[in-house]
Amino acid sequence: MEQMDALKAAQREGFVQRIVGHLKRFAPEAIAGLAKNVIHDRVRLGVRRAENHGIRGFGYTLAFVQTMFAIGPDFDQHPAVQAVLNDVTLPPDARVKKLFSAEFPTNWQEVAKTTHADAWAEDDAV
């Protein structure tokens, strides 16, 4: 069991490193002015939150974390997003795909209005 936990932790840290690299290259404005450790901590938080929704694939985890940076750290608490993420008729990765499809009934600007930027602050202290 310890070996499995170590493997999962190593995989998670690999995701973190790849996502940080992606943000630096493709969305530097999302992390501008943040200390390296804060960026890594926020990405780790995003990976954990994605895992809590059953999201495991790298591309879907990346999309989830990028959305946290672009829309808000607690975007997944919006009722329309929750409805998709909790849809047990779809596999978890397909749920993320649905969020970014024409099937998603809610405007992302509406989701952004309900997020709380200070949600990062709570997690930055961890």
Note the pLDDT of residue 124: 46
Record the tokens describing residue 43, joined without a space.
């990405």
Note the pLDDT of residue 126: 40
Note the pLDDT of residue 30: 93
pTM of the model: 0.86
Who wins on pLDDT, 62 or 107? 62
**What is d(CA 120, CA 123) in angstroms, rounded to the nearest whole number?**
5
Residue 97 host element (H or E): helix 92-99
Judged against a pLDDT cut of 90, whether residue 123 lies above it is answered with: no
* Per-residue pLDDT reduced to its tens digit, 48-96: 999 999 998 899 999 999 999 999 999 999 999 999 999 999 999 899 9
Q: What is the largest CA-CA distance in the chain?
A: 43
Record the tokens describing residue 44, joined without a space.
């780790």
Note the pLDDT of residue 122: 53
The mean predicted confidence, pLDDT, of the chain is: 90
**Percentage of residues in the chain with pLDDT exceeding 70?**
95
Sorted by sequence, the CB contacts under 8 Å of residue 75 that are 6+ apart come out as 67, 68, 81, 111, 112, 115
